[in-house]
Structure 1
């Protein structure tokens, strides 16, 4: 493991700009990123290597909206016996179907993001594995029904308009292709890119036993059809947005224009997901600059969407795992648990 004792408390402007370009296009060639940032491509590649080796930024792949809609996305609140929350969190972090483990304030100890292929599989997972885990005292589950916006859409906003326009303009167009069956090879490709979203086509082709052209076409098709989403992540405490809060709310989800206005009015929203199975029908995840920003957040949300009613809120004390990555207390990636959500959960 690399020595991180000398890591800065914050990323510098160039680091943030580099992460921002990769949020827009996670597999962009270094030559294109260099043009946008007015840097030599070798310099950019070395800078990214330094960030990934330190665990402060990384690119992963996650199941896309199409895969989530075909399976089951669940948000599970977990209460733990006194003094056992960290033990439970560390155990759950090693489970591939538990994509995220969040230690929170409020009326639950942990908030999990879980993905399963079917409802019966989810039921068995919750009843037979999670409920029986030593240290767990109670759980509550809500299902995600629709992804209005996801963290893959969120940006650091570190680029100036010229840089943003250049990296966006040079990004290859993404148009939906004819839907095809999600194959075992697609699953292997998705899991491999979850470990390193910038793995070269040459390495992917060798690992999958196919040609480079086949991998290139299949990857483009998976992304275009939203079976797979590439995502550039960053250690949250180091990027200037150290506070994460989750809100459970009620709103009229059939008013999509109103939800669009909400997302435009509160750009700090990282995810907005429809829920079923509880009083709340909307889960909103927000990144903020400071704890004091929470004070005016509810009024900003209701001003943008007057019919929205906030029911509950939790502040993240620490992410133990985020989308397949085990994190240290500073939010840096230390290891990966491949998100093979298609595997047998038993």
Structure 2
């Protein structure tokens, strides 16, 4: 575990950015408790150090297809395989793990045909993979958009949500070329100014504002604050693989979403009904969480679990061995 490098004001800033990733510094300042210039400067420092950044990806409002892969490799092949897969645009996240699999890979593909091509053609050509199991997601019930550092009080969060309203669906449809350009720009700089975005799009700021608000509200484009996990105070990252009777999958998934530690809940086709990812403060909390789940969700069986040792790629971003974003 790494020493915590964030002070309390950093954590308040990061929590505020989880709530409203594109909020102006002037709106964040009263909630965080620092002037706008100081917040902007500190954010730039955290990004430059690879400790925090904005992730951007295609969301649930599209027809995107996701899948969880369990991969087994020889010990000498784990790093080379991860390095090969990290360059593939279909690969969203790579976790090197201890447990019943060596690697957990999250895929995001445009459709099932692309998923099939990647799994059957691309991965069959990767030397070092000994075996693989594919779990196609049925529904991503929740992802880390819902996860919070919990450094702000509920009252402070409500104030920020009131002062900076959530994006609204202004347009019935955003042209595909505009949506694609917005996704590209947000991946480069999720806090880019409206003037810069409109300049790159070649349309008015009013049109740009309406288009961006719409794709965010529709979850076609998702902006999410990310923090280097080993430094966050939540260094333990665990995947749970669960089996639940079909009649209880929905209710169990809903209750899992309400847990503070949970960062991903997805229903899947395969050996497991649900795949869940959590961040915890201590290794001992794995046992405590499993006990809590057993008491709260008697229908849910934890079939297996894996603890993450290293994450070379997270949400499309390359990370170094310490968990920081590689800044180029």
TM-score bin (small chain): over 0.9
> Where does residue 342 of structure 1 map in the other structure?
none
Q: Does 1:114 align with 2:111?
A: no
Question: How far apart in 1 are the matches of 2:311 and 2:169?
Answer: 34
Question: How far apart in 2 are the matches of 1:282 and 1:99?
Answer: 19
> Where does residue 268 of structure 2 map in the other structure?
275
Question: How far apart in 1 are the matches of 2:201 and 2:323?
Answer: 32
- Partner of 1:66, secondary structure, is coil
Q: State TM-score, norm by structure 1.
A: 0.89
Match of 1:18 among 13, 16, 24: 13
Q: Which moved more, 1:7-16 or 1:74-83?
A: 7-16
Which structure 2 residue ranges, 5 or more long, are not aligned? none
> Where does residue 47 of structure 2 map in the other structure?
52
Question: How far apart in 2 are the matches of 1:162 and 1:323?
Answer: 30
> Where does residue 247 of structure 1 map in the other structure?
240
State the aligned residue count: 326
Which structure 1 residue ranges, 5 or more long, are not aligned? 1-6, 337-346
- Give CA deviations for 1:136-193 in whole Å, capped at 9, x if unaligned: 2222111111122110111010112332222122121444456426602212211321
> Where does residue 253 of structure 2 map in the other structure?
259
C-alpha change, 1:223 and 1:318, in structure 2 (3 Å) is same
Task: Map 1:84-95; keep pairs closer than 5 Å.
Answer: 84-95=77-88
- Partner of 1:120, secondary structure, is helix
Q: Which moved more, 1:205-214 or 1:303-312?
A: 205-214
Question: How far apart in 1 are the matches of 2:28 and 2:196?
Answer: 22
Q: Which moved more, 1:290-299 or 1:28-37?
A: 290-299
Question: How far apart in 1 are the matches of 2:228 and 2:33?
Answer: 25
- Give CA deviations for 1:270-328 in whole Å, capped at 9, x if unaligned: 1111111x121101111000111111221211222211111110100011110011011
Match of 1:36 among 31, 39, 43: 31
Task: Map 1:291-306; keep pairs closer than 5 Å.
Answer: 291-306=283-298
**Superposed displacement of residue 204, structure 1:** 1.7
C-alpha change, 1:25 and 1:89, in structure 2 (3 Å) is same
C-alpha change, 1:78 and 1:58, in structure 2 (3 Å) is same
Question: How far apart in 2 are the matches of 1:254 and 1:322?
Answer: 33
- CA RMSD in angstroms, aligned pairs only: 1.9
**Superposed displacement of residue 61, structure 1:** 1.4
